[in-house]
Amino acid sequence: MESSEFRYVYYLVQDYLKYILQEPELGPAPSRVAHVLRNSASFLQKENEEILKPCLDTLDITSVDAARRIFIQVMDKEFDDGNTNWGRILTIFMFGGILSKRLQEHKVQLTGDNKEQISYFITEYIINTKAEWIDANGGWENGFLPMFEEK
């Protein structure tokens, strides 16, 4: 049984991926944090997708398993200097969105099961490596939200 913290992040990741994949049944964001995350991470994604494209083209993102491996490798590199900040946390969501779109472009059918797997490995990474930092830096409501809301 996952912790309530895990379920909270899982629902943020799921909501962001649904938003990025433009799922037709998508309603309004289920919370303020989810709403701000949709806006700020997708803005960042639009801004950087083209810049990252030459690097991404070298990666073989053709299955959910490959996406998981690449995600872990990229994250390990991103955080190997030991620094964490809310901007970098935002890039975790952004990169999850980029990977999901890439899978779609490679004609990988993003079934409900596949999307759950992707949301799961992203959440697992955040919970296993960033939960303490997030908690020590105000959490989603008091750390993330004041920084990115209405900006």
Partner 1 sequence: TSSQVGRRLALIGDDINMRY
Tokens of 51: 């810049």
CB nearer partner 1, residue 61 or residue 127: 61
By CB under 8 A, is residue 145 in contact with partner 1?
A: no
Stretch of 15-23, 56-64, 114-122, 134-142 lying at the interface with partner 1 (CB under 8 A): 56-64
Distance of CA 38 to the CA centre of its chain: 10
Scanning the chain, the segments in alpha helix (DSSP H) are 4-20, 32-56, 64-78, 86-105, 112-136, 139, 145-148
SS3 137: coil
At closest approach, how far in Å is the CB of 25 from partner 1? Answer: 30
SS3 82: coil
By CB under 8 A, is residue 100 in contact with partner 1?
A: no
By CB under 8 A, is residue 141 in contact with partner 1?
A: no
CB nearer partner 1, residue 19 or residue 86: 86
At closest approach, how far in Å is the CB of 90 from partner 1? Answer: 6
CB nearer partner 1, residue 30 or residue 146: 146
Nearest-angstrom CA–CA distance, 21 and 46: 13
From the CA atom positions of the chain, what is the Rg in Å? 15
Nearest-angstrom CA–CA distance, 131 and 129: 6
By CB under 8 A, is residue 13 in contact with partner 1?
A: no
CB nearer partner 1, residue 4 or residue 83: 83
SS3 91: helix
Interface with partner 1 (CB under 8 A) = 44, 48, 51-52, 55-56, 58-59, 70, 73-81, 83, 85-91, 94-95, 147-148, 151
